[in-house]
Amino acid sequence: MTDPTNHTGRCLAIDTSSSAMTVAILENGKMLGEVSSYAERNHSIGLLPHIQDLLASLQLKPKDLQSVAVGQGPGSYTGVRIAVSVAKTFAWSLSLDLIGVSSLEAMALGGAMKQEDKNNKGLTWVVPLLDGRRKQAFTAVYAYSGVSPMTDQEELAADWHEVLPDGIRVIGPWLVQLLAQAASAEPEQAPDKILFVGEIEGFSEELTQFVQDWKGSLEQLSYGIEAQYVGQLAYPRLARGERADVHTFVPNYTRLPEAEANLLAGIQVKKGGN
């Protein structure tokens, strides 16, 4: 593997956890190029050609890479598995450093960058949403203060942090919980603004209700994951010496407990007898 103190090399970043298939190459934390497309059913046949085309466009070869960062999920079961398999193959065959990052965190970071607010001086909560079907969402909450979650040097801001962890949640109760937590938070932890990003279209009814109940600033952004931000999240962790074991690294397949999933699906499980 590469020297753990050398975190300034070229990084291949990939994510296929949603309908977006996205690939980027970064160097010293700066993006050199990115290719993204939206065709969920073609991820298995399109990912490697995307990587090959991007490398060729930058006049690079696979051996010129030092690390590979992959969106580890949660998200589409098949999609996450495809990206992780390809990342592990690159890492093993080329002796690259491997790092997994949350696909939801990459979505949150990228969405927040698209919605930079020059007048914002308070705390923003960013809520990524990936449609998990049956009114479920892969979601989490991340936060940052001020105008942007990244510095002028294109590095992750020191105060970017997780508020609530990745998971799959029933959207209605989840938004009620989110509203209550925002209202009851200590003043220094309470959000001035909440930003919903991602696959928001399937949750329009629930988000409309949230808008009516929430008294602070609120924005919504339909947004697809960009691999650039998978890479941006990987660099600080590589700098700290974090590496995934290529043999034991697995996707984050977050799912609801079976009993709750059955209940949501209207399946009645009989206990004993007929």
**What is the model's pTM?**
0.89
Please enumerate in sequence order all residues whose Cβ is within 8 A of that of 247, keeping only pairs 6 or more positions apart, or say none: none
| Two structure tokens written together for 156 | 């992750």
- For 54-85, write each residue's pLDDT tens digit: 999 999 999 999 999 999 999 988 999 999 99
Q: What is the pLDDT of residue 1?
A: 45
CB 14 within 8 A of CB 71: yes
What beta strand segments (E) does 152-192 contain? Answer: 161-170
Question: Do 10-103+225-253 and 105-222 show the same overall fold?
Answer: yes
- Domain residue spans of the chain: 10-103+225-253, 105-222
Q: In the chain, which stretches have pLDDT less than 70? A: 1-8, 40-41, 255-274
- For 160-186, write each residue's pLDDT tens digit: 999 999 999 999 999 999 999 999 999
Integer Cα distance of 199 and 189 in angstroms: 26
Instruction: Decide if domain 105-222 falls under CATH 3.40.50.300.
Output: no
What is the side-by-side order of every strand in the sheet holding 30-38? 30-38, 20-27, 10-15, 67-71, 97-101
Q: What is the pLDDT of residue 225?
A: 96
Q: What is the pLDDT of residue 6?
A: 47
**What CATH number matches the domain at 10-103+225-253, 2.60.40.10, 3.30.420.40, 3.40.50.880, 2.160.10.10?**
3.30.420.40
Q: Vertex 79, ends 22 and 135: CA angle to 5°? A: 105
